[in-house]
Amino acid sequence: MTAPRPLATPSVVDLPAPAGARVHRARLRELDPATLYGILRLRETVFCLEQGATDADLDGRELEEGTTLMWVSVPDPAVPDGARIAVAHARVLTDPEAMRIGRVVVAASRRRDGLGRVVMQAALEHCRAVAPEREVRIDAQAYLERWYASMGFVAHGDLFLEAGIEHVAMVRPADA
Ligand SMILES: CC(C)(COP(=O)(O)OP(=O)(O)OC[C@H]1O[C@@H](n2cnc3c(N)ncnc32)[C@H](O)[C@@H]1OP(=O)(O)O)[C@@H](O)C(=O)NCCC(=O)NCCS
C-alpha cells in the first residue's frame, strides 16, 4: 500500500461555506494555543457535557504525525478585534490500512446550517489528497447513519457502544 503523501499545513481550505465561515487544516504542532484550546473546548462541550460520553476525548492520537485536524472558524461575536472561534471540527487519522475520520462536531448554536457537511467534505478531500487509494472509515453515531450514507459511507456490522453511545462502523470505498 502506498504511503500517505504529506500536504502543506496549516492552511485554509478552499471550499464553499456559509457566509463568514473559513475552513482550516493543521497538525497539532502547527496550531496556536488559542485555536487548539477553542477546538478542544468545542469537543468537550459537545461530546462530554452535551452527549455524556463515558470515554475521554483525548486519546493521544493528535500527537501522531499522520493526524490532521480540520475545523471551521467564524468571527467570535464575544471579541471585537477580529478573533475567530472554531464552530465545527473533524479529525483525520492515518491508520495502517485506511484513513479514519472522527470527532465530527458542530457547536449547538450553529447546527443545521451545513457546517457539519462542510467539515466532512474538507476531511474527505484531505483523505483523497494524501491517500487516494485508501478507503475511509468512521465509527458513526447510529442516529447519523443516513447522513453519512449521503456522503458515500456504507454501514458494516452491528451497532455497538462506544463511550456509552450507540455507534455503527461505516466505510467509504476509495472510488466512491
Ligand atoms: C452531527 C452534526 C455534526 C451535524 O452537524 P450540522 O452542521 O448540523 O450538519 P449539516 O447542517 O451539515 O447537516 C444536517 C443534516 O445532518 C443530519 N442530522 C443532524 N442532526 C440530526 C439528528 N439529530 N438526527 C438525525 N439526523 C441529523 C440530517 O441529515 C440533517 O439534515 P436535515 O437538516 O435536512 O434534516 C451535529 O449535529 C453535532 O455536532 N452533533 C453532536 C455531535 C455528534 O453527534 N457528532 C457526530 C459523531 S459521529
Q: Provide the number of structural domains found in the chain.
A: 1
Q: Helical H runs in 9-100?
A: 33-43
User: 150 lies in a domain?
Assistant: no
Length of the chain: 176
Q: Cβ(45) to ligand 1 under 6 A?
A: no
Pocket of ligand 1, candidates 39, 45, 70, 111: which has the most ligand atoms within 8 Å of its Cβ, to mutate?
111
- Please tell me if the CB atom of residue 90 comes closer than 6 angstroms to any atom of ligand 1: no
Distance CA 142, CA 153 (A): 13
Q: For 70-109, how does the pLDDT look when each residue is reduced to its tens digit (9 = 90+)?
A: 999 999 988 888 889 999 999 999 999 999 999 999 999 9
Is 175 within a domain? no
Residue 60 domain boundaries: 11-133
Which amino acid would we find at residue 11? S
CATH of residue 113's domain is: 3.40.630.30
The answer as to whether 155 is a domain residue is no
Three-class secondary structure of residue 39 per DSSP: helix
Nearest residue (by CA) to ligand 1, atom 10, is 114
The pLDDT tens digits for 114-173 are: 999 999 999 999 999 999 999 999 999 999 999 999 999 999 999 999 999 999 999 999
Task: Work out whether strand 165-172 and strand 154-162 pair parallel, antiparallel, or are unpaired.
Answer: antiparallel
Quick one: cell of 144?
Answer: 447519523
Position 76 in a domain: yes
The enclosing H or E element of 124 equals helix 115-130
Place 17 in a pLDDT band, splitting at 50, 70 and 90. Answer: confident
**Span from the CA of 144 to the centroid of ligand 1 (angstroms):** 7
The answer as to whether 152 is a domain residue is no
Q: How far apart are CA 52 and CA 72, in angstroms?
A: 23
The per-residue pLDDT for range 19-49, each reduced to its tens digit, is: 889 999 999 999 999 999 999 999 999 999 9
Query: Is the minimum distance from the CB of 87 to ligand 1 under 6 angstroms?
Result: no
| pLDDT tens column, 45-73 | 999 999 999 999 999 999 999 999 999 99
Is 43 part of any domain?
A: yes
